[in-house]
Amino acid sequence: MPENRYQTVPGGRAPRRGQEHFAAPFDEGGLGAIDAVRDSDAPSSMWHDAWRDMRRRPMFWISAVIIVAVILVAAFPSWFTSVDPRLSCQLSKSLQGPEAGHPFGFDFQGCDIYARTIYGARASVVVGVLSTAMVVVLGTAIGSIAGYFAGWFDTILSRMTDIFFAIPLVLAAIVIMSLTENRTAFTVAFVLALFGWTSIARITRGTVMSVKNNEFVTAARSLGMGRGGILLKHVLPNSAAPIIVYATVALGTFIVAEATLSFLGIGLPPDVVSWGGDIARAQNSIRVAPHILFYPAGGLALTVLGFLMMGDVVRDALDPKARKR
């Protein structure tokens, strides 16, 4: 009979007669490999794990390509067309189809639809970025103060947030913009941000209230750091994930809101090329020339889709529960 390759458990009771106790050698159990820790590896962070997760998703790269393309078109429209959409209109080419140098054809006034689609991206992106930046600053400030200091700060700011939250964004913007004479991209962005900060304020308040009870905040307080310093250096950086997610999605929402106001004729002035304004002008000729509506509406839909897709990817990557799944 071959010799048994296992050993009796050291320190255990002596086995009864006819009963054998065995324990596998340490190297054969695989515990050495499991317990091994490499001290040379850099510690992993939430942002590192999120980036590693995002770059593995095809949706991230698709949305990134769309967003980068839209930003390039908005920032450098002359790279994509040499036609000035406001100075090259010819009534003799009204509603004509595509031709050399004009791949999208012409609108009712004989303007190049391709050039107007390219230049229309600038107004929409500028309003979306400005609105999102204002919303993030205002909503984060109000939500963080209400959530961190609590007490009467929380009571007053939360009730003010509820009041603004009850006002529909587009309806309020329509009322304010109808009373405004000098309408610019900054004016539209300011009006949208004035009534659009409530959601991010609520998100920030809840996140700050959760983060401020963590151990590192208690440790910073015990070391003598002031409440303002703790809020800026410890609480807000650890509350940034949901804010970034909401800002990515909100940018697309504000682009749609600007297009809606321009479509109604109370957004950007007519001399500013925008997708919403072109969609409004195309409704009179949609039956005889549907291509006039298709291209600016397609650019608007593609841009909003890119930001919404990016928001979904960022949300899933920064959600700890999603990473565990």
Is pLDDT larger for residue 206 or for residue 48?
A: 206
20 — pLDDT class (breaks 50, 70, 90): low
Is pLDDT larger for residue 93 or for residue 243?
A: 243
Contacts of 305 (CB under 8 A, 6+ apart): 63, 66, 252
Residue 26 lies in a domain: no
Q: Within 13 A of 26's CA, how many CA atoms are on the CB side?
A: 5
Residue 246 lies in a domain: yes
Residue 27 lies in a domain: no
Torsion angles phi and psi, residue 322, rounded to 5: -65, -35
The tokens describing 48, both together, are 């590192």
- What is residue 242's three-state secondary structure? helix
Residues 231-235: contacts with CB under 8 Å, at least 24 apart: 231/144, 231/148, 235/144, 235/148, 235/208, 235/211
What's the mean pLDDT in 81-106?
76
How many CB atoms sit inside 10 A of residue 194's CB? 18
Q: How far apart are CA 290 and CA 102, in angstroms?
A: 16
Residue 109 lies in a domain: yes
Is there a contact between 296 and 279 (Cβ–Cβ < 8 Å)?
yes
pTM score of the predicted model: 0.76
Structural domain tally of the chain?
1
Query: In terms of C-beta density within 10 A (0-12 exposed, 13-18 middle, 19 or more buried), how is residue 320 classed?
Result: exposed
Residue 34 lies in a domain: no
The tokens describing 252, both together, are 């697309």
Residue 254 lies in a domain: yes
Q: What is the DSSP letter of 27?
A: G
Q: How far apart are CA 76 and CA 78, in angstroms?
A: 5
Residue 297 lies in a domain: yes
CATH, residue 75: 1.10.3720.10
Is there a contact between 306 and 218 (Cβ–Cβ < 8 Å)?
no
Look up the domain containing 113 and give its range: 47-324
Is there a contact between 276 and 258 (Cβ–Cβ < 8 Å)?
yes
**Tens-digit pLDDT profile for residues 255-300:** 888 888 888 888 888 778 888 888 888 877 777 778 788 888 888 8
Residue 39 lies in a domain: no
5 — pLDDT class (breaks 50, 70, 90): very low
